[in-house]
Amino acid sequence: MQRNTAQRKQVMDVLMLLEGEHPSAERVYEKVHALYPTVSKATVYRILKDEAAHGGVLGVDLPRDVGRYDSRTDGHYHIRCRICGKVSDIEKGEGALDGLFVNNSGFEIENVLLSFTGICAGCACKVGNAAAEGGANIHKGA
């Protein structure tokens, strides 16, 4: 059972401040610690893990990326820039995914985790400029 503590509220408030950023647990901790220096790293990580397990936040697991958290728990997908690592939301469309898959596993599907990879507008602009300037190297950032 989750306890409603001042520390839990502080962590959740910071996650809401970072809405749209899809921060890692480390990023949430850094921001919490800057505002509330007495909250430990272990406490922040535990609260985020508990909230994700109970549906209070969405754990975002993307290939070749650190675990991230999202304060949005409604149905949506994520896209990650393969160059800079930026993560953004993709809204669900009108169509259902049911017809795309055949479930012979015996499992009842409760949730679908789907993520996309691409190039964000900022990096696409840099890639275009680099190509125009003779192909300067662009490396993945943090």
Helices (H) and strands (E) counted in the chain, each on its own, are: 4, 5
For 24-41, what is each residue's pLDDT tens digit?
A: 999 999 999 999 999 999
More confident residue, 15 or 61: 15
Question: Would you say 103 and 112 are in contact if contact means Cβ atoms under 8 Å apart?
Answer: no
* Chain length of the chain: 142
Q: pTM of the full predicted structure?
A: 0.73
Residue 11 pLDDT exceeds 90:
yes
The pLDDT assigned to 91 comes to: 86
Rounded Cα distance between 55 and 68, Å, is 14
Percent of the chain with pLDDT over 70: 85
